[in-house]
Every structure is written in C-alpha cells, then in structure tokens.
Amino acid sequence: MLDVDDVTLQYKTDDRLVTATYKVDFQVHRGDRFVLLGPSGCGKSSLLKAVAGFIKPVEGAIRLNGEPVRGPGPDRMVVFQEFDQLLPWKTVFQNVLFPLRARGVPAKEAAERARDYIAKVGLDRFRDSYPHTLSGGMKQRVAIARAMATEPEILLMDEPFAALDALTRRRMQEELLQLWDDVRFTMLFVTHSIEEAIIVGNRILVLSPHPGQVKAELNAHAFGHEKSEGFAALENRIHTMLFADQPTAPVKTTRAARP
Ligand SMILES: Nc1ncnc2c1ncn2[C@@H]1O[C@H](COP(=O)(O)OP(=O)(O)OP(=O)(O)O)[C@@H](O)[C@H]1O
C-alpha cells in the first residue's frame, strides 16, 4: 500500500548539506502497524514527514496505492508528539469535527463520526471541554481521534507518547492496540523506544544512526505488553543491533594532563 523506494532525504542549511536518510526502502501493507525504530537523529521523523508529503526525497520515490506522493493529502494524517497540536479555542468535539467539515463531510455525518471517535478514545465525558483543561494523555487521545475520524489511508504517528509519563504511555499503547483491533487501520509509527516498538508494531524497521539506513526488518506481531521470553529475546536482539553502531567511548588515561 505504501511503497518507500530507496529514499534519500537531505536538508540544505546555510553552510552544509545534511543527509538524514540514505536509500531507505520499505513497504507497508494494509492493516500494518509498521514501526520505524532507531536512535535520535537517524531520520525517523524525516521519513514520516516525507511520507506525509512535507519534504521531497532527493533520490528514490514514495508511492501510496501506486500514486506518487507529491505533497500533503487527506489520505495521510499525522499525530505529533507535542501536546499543543489541538486548536485551543475549540472544544474536543469541535477539534475532531473541524477537519471533517473542512473535507466536505456533511454536517450530520461529520458530527456522528466525531462523536463516535471521541467515544472510541474514551473521552465522551470531555466532549465539550477545551484542550487546556485536559491532561497530556487526553490531548493525545483527542489528536488520535481527530486523525482517525477522517479515516485516512494511513495514520502517521511521530513519537505520539514520548512526552507522557511511563504509566500513561503504557495505557496509551494498550488503548492504541485496542483501537486497532476495533478499526484495523494502517499506521506508520515512529519511536526510539525498543520496548514501545515491540509492543505497538507488527513489523519493525530498524534504522542505523545518522544518516539512517535500513539495518533490518523484523516481525513483532506476536508480542503485546506481556514480557515473554520471545519479547525479551527480540528486545536484546534489537539492542545489540543498535548498539553495535555506537562509537565506543574514548579510553581515559588515568594520568590525564592535570595541573
Ligand atoms: N529542518 C532541518 N534542517 C536541517 N537539518 C535537519 C532538519 N530536520 C532534521 N535535520 C537533521 O536530519 C537528521 C535526521 O533528523 P530527524 O529529526 O529526522 O531524526 P529522528 O531520528 O527523528 O531524531 P529524533 O528521534 O531525535 O527526533 C538529523 O541529523 C537532524 O539534525
């Protein structure tokens, strides 16, 4: 469904050219929970932005259902890490409704869909609340409901739980899996947490440090929150894979030049 074909992404700054990813290749199938995993700076967010159509590859191509991605479109919705992605002057209901109406969904159907997705993320009671009165986790639920209500071809999630406390993060991962069981949407999920990748993903693309290149594609469909032996083995395998690339710390001499 989504074909990322040997994609190289670069940024031009005033004084240099930064290569964010180099010839990254992967395919996402309908219903996949596909995770991009890698250390900070390996180009995960850049890949997501390229799929969203915000940046163009300098090499390679991105296709959705066979059509080249040429810019942002309603078939791809992004959920970001930041809690301030909601419109502060609109209620939860109005936030979820807004993109539906903007896409021309008739008023009655849009209102029904907004209510339905707000209920799916468990925020029925907060439909008329404003974002500033909600917790971080609740704001992320609204952002997820808003993105899902438009029923995009693929949901793009850029570390959506990274700014949450550990307990809320865990609960949100569980809720996302429940939502997936319910709706069976397709998602591309970015994280630098190995644990989160195994919990959330059915397939994991492991990227090397900057510039990001594909190290491996792994199957994780068998794992949820329960820490089985298999879970731990996969966690270790990915850990070894990622840390094999880390430069070793410089050896300190015991008698450094001290005054
Ligand atoms: N707007 C930009 N201008 C210049 N360089 C950029 C820009 N955005 C990202 N980069 C560089 O591209 C590389 C990849 O960045 P990116 O944010 O995609 O990585 P990431 O894996 O998502 O990292 P993190 O997990 O820290 O968010 C980094 O070296 C970063 O400094």
Task: Assess whether the C-beta atom of 207 lies below 6 angstroms from ligand 1.
Answer: no
So what's the pLDDT on residue 245?
A: 61
So what's the pLDDT on residue 256?
A: 42
Q: What is the CATH number of domain 1-75+156-246?
A: 3.40.50.300
Length reported for the chain: 259
Task: Assess whether the C-beta atom of 240 lies below 6 angstroms from ligand 1.
Answer: no
The helix-helix angle for 136-149 and 166-183 (nearest 10°) equals 20
**Predicted ipTM of the assembly:** 0.96
- Please choose from 37, 45, 192 the residue to mutate so as to test ligand 1's pocket, defined by most ligand atoms within 8 A of CB: 45
* Three-class secondary structure of residue 28 per DSSP: strand
CA-closest residue to ligand 1 atom 28: 41
Q: What are phi and psi of 99, to 5 degrees?
A: -65, -25
Q: Considering only the C-alpha atoms of the chain, give the largest distance between any 2 of them, rounded to a whole number of Å.
A: 77
Task: Assess whether the C-beta atom of 203 lies below 6 angstroms from ligand 1.
Answer: no
Q: Which amino acid is at 60?
A: G
Q: How far apart are CA 119 and CA 134, in angstroms?
A: 16
Q: Where are the domains of the chain?
A: 1-75+156-246, 82-151
* 70-101 pLDDT, tens digit each: 999 989 999 988 878 899 999 999 999 999 99
| Residues sharing a CB contact under 8 Å with residue 21, sequence separation 6 or more, in sequence order | 7, 8, 9, 42, 43, 46, 47, 207, 211, 212, 213
pLDDT below 70 — which residues of the chain? 224-225, 245-259
Contact 96, 134 (CB under 8 A): no
pTM attached to this predicted model: 0.89
Nearest to 223 by CA among 252, 255, 201: 201
To which H or E segment does residue 246 belong? none
Torsion over CA: 218, 48, 243, 174 (sign): negative
So what's the pLDDT on residue 172?
A: 87
Nearest to 203 by CA among 8, 23, 30: 30
* Three-class secondary structure of residue 68 per DSSP: strand
So what's the pLDDT on residue 259?
A: 41
* 104-126 pLDDT, tens digit each: 999 999 999 999 999 988 899 99
